[in-house]
Amino acid sequence: MTFKVFEWQAVAAARVLAGKAVLPGRAEQEKWEQDRIALKGDGPAFTVVNPDFKDYFEELRLLAGELGQGVPGRRLPVFDQRWKDDFDAGHERRKEMWRRSNRAAAGVL
C-alpha cells in the first residue's frame, strides 16, 4: 500500500502543480487539519493512513480529478479492498518470518 499511496499522492500533486486540479480553499484545508488533529492528535498519528486507506485514496482520487476520454494522464481507479487485504496478508507473512528468525537466533525452534 505504501507505494500505491506515494503514486496517488504524486499524481494529485502533479495535477495541482500543472493547473489541472485545484486544492480546496484555505478555510476548507484548515478545517480538515483541525478535524484530523481532533481525530488523530498532532503527533505522529496525524500522518498515519492505515486503516483508513479507502477514504484517503478516494480523497486523492477526487482531488486529482477525472480525466476525460482521450486526455493523457494516469487515471486513478476507485479503491479496491483487495489492495489492502493483500498488503495486510503480506505484513502478516513478514511478521511470522521475523518470529521464526528470532526463534532460530535464540536457539528455540
Span 17-68, pLDDT tens digits: 988 888 999 999 999 999 999 999 999 999 998 888 899 999 888 888 876 5
Instruction: Say yes or no: 71 and 94 in one domain.
Output: no
Instruction: Say yes or no: 74 and 85 in one domain.
Output: no
Q: Which residues contact 81 (CB under 8 A, 6 or more apart)?
A: 54
Number of domains in the chain: 2
Quick one: which of 58, 69, 73 has its CA closest to 18?
Answer: 73
Instruction: Say yes or no: 61 and 94 in one domain.
Output: no
Instruction: Say yes or no: 85 and 64 in one domain.
Output: no
CA atoms within 13 A on the CB side of 44: 0
Instruction: Say yes or no: 48 and 65 in one domain.
Output: yes
User: What region, left, alpha or beta, does residue 91 occupy, with left being phi > 0 and alpha being psi -120 to 50 degrees?
Assistant: alpha
Q: Which domain holds residue 40?
A: 2-78
Question: Mean pLDDT throughout 92-100?
Answer: 95
Instruction: Say yes or no: 62 and 21 in one domain.
Output: yes
Instruction: Say yes or no: 7 and 54 in one domain.
Output: yes
Instruction: Say yes or no: 28 and 73 in one domain.
Output: yes
The three cell numbers locating residue 79 = 479503491
* Helices of type H across 1-109: 2-17, 26-40, 53-64, 81-105
Supply the pTM of this predicted model: 0.73
